[in-house]
């Protein structure tokens, strides 16, 4: 495949650091690929995707396009199938969809010394919440409580948990809670919870992984106290490494040439 154009799509998208990450990686790899960004709404996704010509190699997708990309993919990897979300499309005659967010979360947590958990709390019930549940299951979680403004939206996460052997309960953000080892916050960037709700979540929330990274610290991270707090930049970095593997050779698990130097350049670009 000789096509060399790539981009990240989402709405909003101006805050995305993906162009800087990818450009840094392609410089090290010696690839003369163009990676940009474009604001694309969910209703416009299908038409915009269909307008791309053969010069396009792939797309990174962020909110609110992960479900749209899932529907557009002709084939999907296991994490995409289980989560119902695609954040990476390898283009061609039949677009291939991948979810690299799951591995990105696992790698970001491992980088901060978290390689196993028993109980987790997930804040939010969207596409990233499904990826967070998959990551938690991969780390050995047996119980997950999902907190959302609209708990009824989490029915799919309950079913996903059953398939993974994780008992999932759902409740409102301000409901009483029990201690968990790790909180995985997947709320949109800029979300501000009532101070009493944030304090209650922090009291028994264990370590915090917050998928948000702009602005940072997030409102939740700023009240978390002395326990570990991990920003979404780690997830952004590591899911991008897996995306670049896909764009380079089609396999998210096969390392890049001189990957250590590639990752170091990407980290320096953040």
* Positions marked catalytic: 66
Q: How many CB atoms lie within 10 A of CB 99?
A: 31
Please state whether beta strands 56-61 and 88-90 pair in parallel, antiparallel, or not at all (unpaired). Answer: antiparallel
Distance CA 177, CA 103 (A): 28
Length of the chain in terms of residues written: 270
Query: If 0-12 CB within 10 Å is exposed, 13-18 middle and 19+ buried, where does residue 234 land?
Result: buried
Where are the alpha helices (H) located in 165-258, listed in sequence order?
195-203, 233-249
Q: Alpha-carbon distance 260 to 257, whole Å? A: 9
Report d(CA 248, CA 29) in Å as an integer: 9
Q: How many helices (H) and strands (E) does the chain have?
A: 10, 12
Q: Kindly state the tokens that stand for 251.
A: 């396999």
Q: Would you give the distance in Å from CA 237 to the centre of its chain?
A: 10
Token couple for 210: 């917050």
What whole-number distance in Å separates Cα of residue 157 and Cα of residue 105? 17
Specify which residues 6 forms β-bridges with: 35, 58
């Amino acid at each position: 495949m000789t096509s060399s154009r790539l981009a990240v799509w989402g709405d909003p998208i101006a805050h995305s650091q993906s162009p800087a990450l990818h450009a840094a990686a392609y410089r090290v790899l010696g690839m003369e690929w163009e990676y940009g960004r474009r604001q694309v709404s969910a209703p416009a996704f299908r038409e915009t995707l269909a307008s791309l010509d053969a010069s396009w190699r792939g797309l990174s997708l962020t909110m609110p396009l992960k479900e749209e990309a899932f529907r557009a993919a002709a084939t999907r990897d296991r994490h995409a199938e289980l989560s119902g979300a695609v954040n990476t499309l390898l283009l061609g005659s039949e677009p291939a969809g991948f979810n690299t967010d799951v591995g990105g979360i696992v790698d970001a947590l491992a980088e901060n010394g978290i390689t196993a958990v028993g109980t987790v709390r997930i804040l939010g019930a969207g596409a990233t919440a499904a990826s967070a549940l998959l990551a938690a299951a991969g780390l050995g979680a047996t119980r997950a409580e999902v907190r959302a403004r609209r708990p009824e939206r989490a029915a799919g996460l309950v079913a996903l948990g059953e398939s993974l052997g994780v008992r999932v309960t759902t409740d409102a953000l301000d409901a009483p809670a029990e201690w968990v080892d790790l909180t995985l916050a997947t709320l949109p960037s800029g979300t501000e919870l009532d101070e009493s709700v944030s304090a209650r979540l922090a009291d028994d929330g264990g370590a915090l992984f917050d998928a948000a990274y702009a602005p940072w610290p997030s409102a939740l991270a700023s009240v978390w106290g002395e326990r570990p707090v991990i920003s979404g930049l780690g997830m952004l970095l590591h899911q991008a490494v897996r995306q670049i593997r896909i764009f380079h050779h089609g396999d998210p698990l096969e390392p890049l040439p001189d990957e250590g130097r590639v990752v170091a350049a990407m980290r320096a670009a953040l």
